């Protein structure tokens, strides 16, 4: 069974000499929910642009469900549904027309396209707006319209470039559920996002790209297992006046807040034992930051260091 996406040696040098991609290799299995993460300007959108033929590559190979984009571009394109980062529909056209036209570009008959448009507009809570011009929609509605548009030809792989950017938390969660359902139906999903919580909750496999190179490509569990230390914030009873904990790396933030770094080899029980010794009562505790976020920061930092040292050599 071919991979949903196979990338090898992909390079992109823009006019002016900027090298956005420095030879990336990536494999996404069929049915996967895959995260492609990286800081701004890392090369995520360039990669997606090349896969969807919006950007010309400088070197490398890409195949989509076994179809090489250099040999069988149209076949490869027919498997992909794209939700781009920026709104790119005709702002003056009604939603129905946008969807039906898009389906037509993939060879979907008008009668079928109308049925599908109704199905996805209802599922994404846009049915009431079907005859409105797209410019009348709110930001969240426009994002959902782009998801509906990408699904009109029932693609086997959906690529979403920051689909929840600027979307409120309630809507973001309903979009997560929708994407999970699509993935359960067998659609391979590739997601880029700045919300690392989103990637951690949804994705099974992950690649982190930084300065045009892949600095990590593994499954989410293995990646999170690499996290040696987690930092917890303890909210204490007011005026507890905690002391730094013996045997543990900790910081007193104020008279009722304590930050503690807990290594994999240590248990949270040991923190409570130390706090008990001081007679301090804990009101609540939480992770200081998302676990993936901590890894992301360290990996992106090391990726930049690799690039810098390669440049010096």
Of the candidate spans 93-101, 234-242, 260-268, 276-284, the one that interacts with other proteins by CB under 8 A turns out to be: 93-101
DSSP labels, 27-89:
EE-TT-EEEEE--TTSSHHHHHHHHTTSS--SEEEEEETTEETTT-HHHHHHTEEEE-SS--S
Of 177, 149, 151, 155, nearest to 164 by C-alpha is 177
Nearer to other proteins, 9 or 104 (CB): 104
Interaction of residue 195 with other proteins, rule CB under 8 A: no
Interaction of residue 128 with other proteins, rule CB under 8 A: no
Interaction of residue 91 with other proteins, rule CB under 8 A: yes
Interaction of residue 89 with other proteins, rule CB under 8 A: yes
| Residue 61: Cβ-neighbour burial (10 angstroms; 0-12, 13-18, 19+) | middle
Interaction of residue 105 with other proteins, rule CB under 8 A: yes
Contact criterion met (CB below 8 Å) for 149 and 89: yes
Of the candidate spans 24-32, 99-107, 118-126, 249-257, the one that interacts with other proteins by CB under 8 A turns out to be: 99-107
Interaction of residue 175 with other proteins, rule CB under 8 A: no
Rounded distance between C-alpha atoms, residue 148 and residue 121, angstroms = 7
| Residue 107: Cβ-neighbour burial (10 angstroms; 0-12, 13-18, 19+) | exposed
Interaction of residue 18 with other proteins, rule CB under 8 A: no
Interaction of residue 77 with other proteins, rule CB under 8 A: yes
**Residue holding tokens 């998801």?**
147
**H or E segment and range at residue 205:** strand 205-210
* 29 C-beta neighbours (distance < 10 Å), count: 15
Interaction of residue 101 with other proteins, rule CB under 8 A: yes
> Which residue from 149, 193, 199, 216 is in contact with other proteins, where contact means CB under 8 A?
149
**Residue holding tokens 């949804």?**
202
> Which residue from 1, 40, 71, 86 is in contact with other proteins, where contact means CB under 8 A?
86
Interaction of residue 309 with other proteins, rule CB under 8 A: no
Interaction of residue 16 with other proteins, rule CB under 8 A: no
Q: Considering the complex, what minimum distance in angstroms separates the CB of residue 78 from other proteins?
A: 5
Residues that bind other proteins (CB under 8 A): 14-15, 49, 52-56, 73-75, 77-78, 80, 82, 84, 86, 88-91, 97, 100-110, 149, 153
């Amino acid at each position: 069974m071919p991979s949903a996406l196979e990338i090898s040696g992909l390079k992109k040098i823009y006019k002016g000499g900027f090298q956005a991609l420095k030879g990336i290799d990536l494999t996404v299995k069929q049915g996967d929910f895959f995260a492609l993460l990286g800081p701004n300007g890392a090369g995520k959108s360039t990669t997606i642009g090349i896969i969807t033929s919006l950007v010309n590559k400088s070197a490398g190979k890409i195949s989509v469900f076994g179809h090489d984009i250099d040999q069988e571009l149209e076949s490869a394109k027919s498997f992909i549904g794209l939700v781009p980062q920026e709104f790119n529909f005709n702002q003056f056209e009604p939603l129905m027309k946008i969807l039906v036209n898009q389906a037509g570009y993939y060879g979907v008959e008008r009668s079928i396209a109308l049925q599908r448009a109704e199905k996805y507009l209802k599922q994404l809570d846009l049915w009431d707006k079907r005859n409105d011009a797209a410019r009348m929609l709110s930001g969240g509605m426009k994002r959902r319209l782009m998801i509906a548009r990408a699904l009109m030809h029932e693609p086997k792989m959906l690529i979403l470039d920051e689909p929840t950017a600027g979307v409120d938390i309630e809507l973001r969660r309903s979009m997560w559920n929708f994407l999970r359902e699509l993935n359960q139906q067998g659609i391979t999903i590739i997601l880029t996002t700045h919300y690392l919580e989103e990637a951690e909750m949804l994705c099974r496999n992950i690649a982190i790209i930084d300065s045009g190179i892949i600095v990590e490509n593994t499954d989410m569990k293995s990646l999170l297992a690499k996290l040696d230390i987690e930092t917890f914030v303890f909210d204490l009873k007011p005026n507890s006046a905690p002391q730094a904990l013996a045997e543990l790396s900790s910081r007193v933030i104020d008279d009722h807040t304590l930050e503690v770094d807990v290594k994999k080899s240590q248990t949270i029980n040991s923190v409570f034992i130390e706090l008990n010794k001081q007679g301090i009562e804990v009101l609540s505790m939480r992770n200081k930051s998302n676990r993936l976020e901590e890894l992301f920061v360290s990996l992106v930092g090391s990726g930049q260091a690799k690039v810098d040292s390669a440049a010096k050599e």
